[in-house]
Chains A and B, each alone.
Chain A
Amino acid sequence: QSALTQSRSVSGSPGQSVTISCTGTSSDVGGFNYVSWYQQHPGKAPKLMIFDVSKRPSGVPDRFSGSKSGNTASLTISGLQAEDEADYYCCSYASTYRLVFGGGTKLTVL
Chain B
Amino acid sequence: EVQLVESGGGSVQPGGSLRLSCAASGFTFSNYWMTWVRQAPGKGLEWVANIKQDGSEKYYVDSVKGRFTISRDNAKNSLSLQMDSLRAEDMAVYYCARAIYGRANDYWGQGTLVTVSS
Chain A residues in contact with chain B, CB under 8 A? 1, 3, 32, 34, 36, 38, 40, 45-48, 51-52, 57, 89, 91, 93, 96-104
Contact = CB atoms under 8 A, between A and B. Distances in A.
B114 to A, nearest CB: 16
B45 interface: yes
Contact of A45 (B59, B95, B100, B104): B95
A46 B61 contact: no
Nearest to A98: B59
A104 B46 CA distance: 11
A51 B106 contact: yes
B104 A34 contact: yes
Interface size class of B (residues with CB under 8 A): 20 to 34
Contact of A3 (B44, B50, B103, B111): B44
Contacts, number: 67
Contact of B44 (A45, A52, A93, A102): A102
B62 A1 contact: yes
B89 interface: no
Contacts of B37: 46, 101
B110 interface: yes
10 contacts: A46-B45, A46-B95, A46-B105, A48-B104, A51-B100, A52-B104, A97-B50, A98-B50, A98-B59, A101-B37
B106 A48 contact: yes
B102 interface: yes
A56 to B, nearest CB: 11
A32 B105 CA distance: 16
Nearest to B45: A101
A70 B61 CA distance: 24
A81 B25 CA distance: 33
